[in-house]
Every structure is written in structure tokens, then in C-alpha cells.
A and B are shown apart, each in its own frame.
Chain A
Amino acid sequence: MKTKWYIIFIFLFPALVILFFFKVYPLFYAAIRSLYSYSFIKHTLNFVGLINYIKLFSDPVFLDSLKMTLKFNLIVNPLQVIMATLIAVLLNQRVKGINTFRTLFYLPVAISVPIASVIWGLLLKPNGFINGILSLAEIPKQLFLISQTQALYCIILIVSWIGFSYWMIFILAALQEIPLQIYESACIDGASPLQMFIYVTLPLLKKAIVFIAVGATTANFLMFAPVYTLTQGGPSRSTHLLMYEAYESAFSYSDVGRSNAIVVMLIMIILIVVGIQLRALRTED
């Protein structure tokens, strides 16, 4: 069945044109703009080649943010993947009332990162709810978000409050596709629950786990809202993630070239990390 070209064009055109201008083009724009620098004196854009990138790597502020971003991701991504898997296994148990718990566990998925940030920001205030709970155990007041050593971990907690539940959805869906007979035969062979999890369940979850590892990595390398809302990168730059650095470059210091260079760097880092993840998890096949 041959369809007239203009029919195809009308069906495809609106979506493709929007995708091209507002998704593909900005990507190329970022790459090109990062090679230019704006002169505030002459009001001209000047081609400077890789200068913006070279400057980044001799800039202690950038290097510090880069280190912070890598540290944040090295903790938050494995944590979210492992916890999401464990929670999904828990929700896959056939006990009475499990559907109520499932619904409840989806709740954080509906809440946005900035709103969750504000919720936890209020709870983590020095005179807030969490310190109230700690006082029950006679633990002295903690500073949390205004402590240089604790703030990054507080942000990890906040984004994971949503992240655990969100990534759990995918693992739970994959778990529900595993036929029961597989467990039954493993059970007859005398496998313990732990053995069954490691040798039966995990290999069948591999695809879903790779998917959430990649998804979590992409989302968390671009994490911005909790930093903007709660700490503005502080205290003492201890939560200065790269996405916030890119935002500040563009909107506080009007250095669009540097900002775009950071964005391009971030995308390249994500591509490299995702590439490593895909390779590492594929070789076992």
C-alpha cells in the first residue's frame, strides 16, 4: 500500500519539526556556542576554539564541582539501583494487603524533585522534625543542610526518596514477568531464598537493572533542583554540582560560553559512564 508523500509529511511534520528545533538544534548550539566567547566591551561573539574548555580544566572552581559531581554520582547511582531492586523484591512478595503497600510506595513518584526538596528542607532544619526524632534517641542536634560534611548526603537522601520508588517501578514490572514455575523448580532443587535470588531472579532482571542504571545516571548527573532550592551550592561549595555551576555561569555571571562548555562536558561524561555501564553489564552474556 503506497501512501501519498504529503499525507506522510502532514502526519510527521509537526512532531519532527518541534523535536528538531527544540531538542536537536540546542544540542548543536551548545557545542558550537561553547567555542565562542562574548566580548562585553565590543559586544561581539568571538571564536575562541577550545579556550572555554582549556580554561575549565585550569579552573579550581570547575574542578571542585566536577569532583563533587562524580562523588555524588558514585554514591547515589549504585544506592538507587540496589535499593530499587530490593524494594521491588519486597513488593513482589505475595502477602495480604501488598497492593495497598504498592500504591503507597508509588507516592513519591508523583512528587517533583523541587517539592521533595522543600519538604525535606523543612524537615531537616536545625529545629525541624528530624532533629525532633533524633532527640528521642538523645542524639544531639545535627546541622544537616547547613553542615559542610552532611549537606551532600542530605541531598542524596532527598533525591533517593523519589528515586528509589521511581526506579522500583521498572524492576517490579520485570519481576512480575518472571514465570512462577521457574521458582517452583528451583525450590524442588532445594535452593535457599538467597540462592534463588542470586541465581534465578537477578539474571532475569539484568535488562531492567541496566535500564535503571542508565536512567539513574542520566538523571543524577543533571541534578539541579535540590542544590538551587536548598543550598545554592553551599555550605562552602560542598554541594556545588556541575548543573548548578552551568546555571550560575549563564545566569549569575553571564558567561554563556563557559556555561555551554560545562553542559557539553556533562553530556560527554554521561555518555562515557553509560557506555561503561552497558559494556560492563553486557560481557556476562
Chain B
Amino acid sequence: MLGEKGFNSQITTYALLFIYSLFILAPVYVVLVSSFRTSEDVFKYMTPFTWRTLIPTKLTFVAYVDIFKEINFGRALFNSFFISIMSVFGGLVVNSMAGFAFAHFRFKGRDILFVIVLVTFMIPFESIAIPLYNFIRQLGLVNTYTGLILPSIANGMIIFLFRQFFKGFPKALFESARIDGASWFTIFYKIVLPISKPVIVSASILMLILRWNEFFYPLLVGNSPEYRVVQVAISNFFTQYQTKWNLLFAGVILAAIIPILILLPLQRFFVQAVTGTGIKE
């Protein structure tokens, strides 16, 4: 089937794919290799470039041990896990309920309210982080888990995602249950949620990655050592201790591995979530 022209264009495609793969993988690979070196060795082989730059001669896990002992990275990991999981949990509850109300309840002002929700999703969290910090401080919630978790639970994008999914359900699905006298809460938890697994997975992944990778807001609101999340801890470490490079490399790997392990296998759901809020209306 393939003519010479088709063959050449395949070669070009592979060449371009390969070059861009290097651009993506090389930084990650260098960091991974460096995290298994001692702090003296980290920059020793970087320049000039030799085979030792890419292949370490002696491997050590010392960085992965020291990072927990010396900068209390365990605390940061715990904070990131705790905040992310609580946000996802809370987010699933409040956003799915709001999404359901917008999809299936009829009430005055629904459309205008929904437009307002959509507008809030166009206000990026970063843009309001500084004024929000002032408000959080007035509430006395700086350096508390409540302050770090609560504001990001409700999310216009996730409400939208749930509403779109729930809109696909026919009214008839609830009607017989209503006639049998089931309350809306029973219908929501017993009928709606069990058949909504795809959107729950999509929304969870999206919220989890957003939360885990969040930086600006936790930098402002969780700046004391006990409340620092991974992103803030690594960033501070980079600017403050310019010697223990191998610890930094190990920290970067630990911070990146979580979202990578979630995103790559469950990529399909993530893509559905982000594109579902984007192009399709």
C-alpha cells in the first residue's frame, strides 16, 4: 500500500516524534539518575558530556533517606496527600449535588445562577489568591488545614462536568422511584451516583492533580513548616539550600511520581474531563 512518498512521510513522522520525546524525557531522566547519586557526584559528570552523564557508576538511595531525615519531607508529603484527598472527597460531594440540581431541578433563576457558576470557573484561582489570602487571614485560617482545603472544594468546572453527565439521564429514571415515595437524597445516592462512575473518576483525577500540583495559594496560606505542601517545600528548598542537590532531585521525583502514576494509566478519563469542559458545550 505504501508508496515511496508514504514511506518517507512515515520516517519524518517517527523522526519528529522521537525528537520531541527526547525533549520530554531527557529532563526527567537526568533528574531520576541524579537522585541516585551522592551530593558530590551530582554535578561532577554533567559537563563536559560523557557516558557518565547518563549512566551512573555507583547508585545510592542516600538522597531518598536523607530527604526525610534532614528536611522533614514526610510532613510535606503527608500534607499534600491529606489536603488533596480531603479536597477531592469534599469536592465530589458538593459539586455532584450542585451539578444534579442544575441538571434536573427546575427553579427560578436557575439559568442565571448556572451562568454565574460558569463565570467563576473562568476566574483562575491564582488571580484571586492574594485577596483570598487577606480574607482567610481575617477568618484566622492561615496555616490551618481548613484554610488550605475549604476554598478549593467547590469548583465551577467540576459542577459543569457533573451537570453535563447527569443531563444525559432521562427523567423516567427517577419518576418511578419518586412515585414509590423515595426522597431525592435516596434517588441521588442509590440510583444516580452508582451509574455515574465515569464522571466520578474523571472529576476525581482532575481535582486530585489540580490539588496536588497547586502552588501559589498554599504558598500564601500554608507557609509555616507544619503546613507546607510538597510543591512549596521543594520550591523553598531550591531557593534556600543550594548544596544538597541530590536531596532536591529525590524530592522532585517524589513530588512528580504521584500525579504521573495517576495520570498516565488513567489518561483517558483525564482527557475526557478537561476536554469535556472545554470544546464540547
Contacts and interface: CB of A to CB of B under 8 A. Distances in A.
Interface of A: 1-3, 5, 7-8, 10-12, 14-16, 18-19, 21-27, 29-30, 33, 87, 90-91, 93, 95, 98, 101, 103-115, 117-123, 125, 127-129, 131-133, 135-136, 141, 161, 165, 169-170, 173-174, 193, 207-208, 211, 215, 218-219, 222, 224-225, 228-230, 232, 243, 246-247, 250-251, 256, 259-260, 263, 266-267, 270
Interface in B88-137: 93-95, 97-98, 100-102, 105-107, 113, 116-117, 120, 122-124, 126-128, 130-135
A115 B255 contact: yes
A110 B278 contact: no
Contacts of B279: 170, 173-174, 207-208, 211
Interface in B236-281: 238-239, 245, 248-249, 252, 255-256, 259-260, 262-264, 267, 270-271, 274-275, 278-279
A169 B126 contact: no
Given A11-B105, A12-B101, A115-B256, A109 B263 contact: yes
A137 to B, nearest CB: 10
Nearest to B154: A18
B278 to A, nearest CB: 5
- A interface SS class: helix
A114 B214 CA distance: 9
B107 A3 contact: yes
A118 B271 contact: no
Given A33-B131, A129-B30, 15 more contacts: A1-B106, A3-B184, A11-B101, A12-B101, A19-B117, A23-B156, A27-B123, A98-B17, A103-B267, A107-B25, A111-B260, A115-B231, A132-B47, A133-B49, A270-B127
Interface string B23-41: 1111110110010000000
Nearest 9 pairs between A and B by C-beta?
A: A112-B213, A22-B151, A15-B98, A132-B47, A18-B154, A30-B131, A132-B49, A11-B101, A110-B259
A108 B27 CA distance: 10
Nearest to A221: B127
Interface of B: 9-10, 13-14, 16-17, 20-21, 23-28, 30-31, 34, 43, 46-49, 53, 93-95, 97-98, 100-102, 105-107, 113, 116-117, 120, 122-124, 126-128, 130-135, 150-154, 156, 159, 171, 175, 178, 183-184, 188, 209, 212-216, 219-220, 231-232, 234-235, 238-239, 245, 248-249, 252, 255-256, 259-260, 262-264, 267, 270-271, 274-275, 278-279
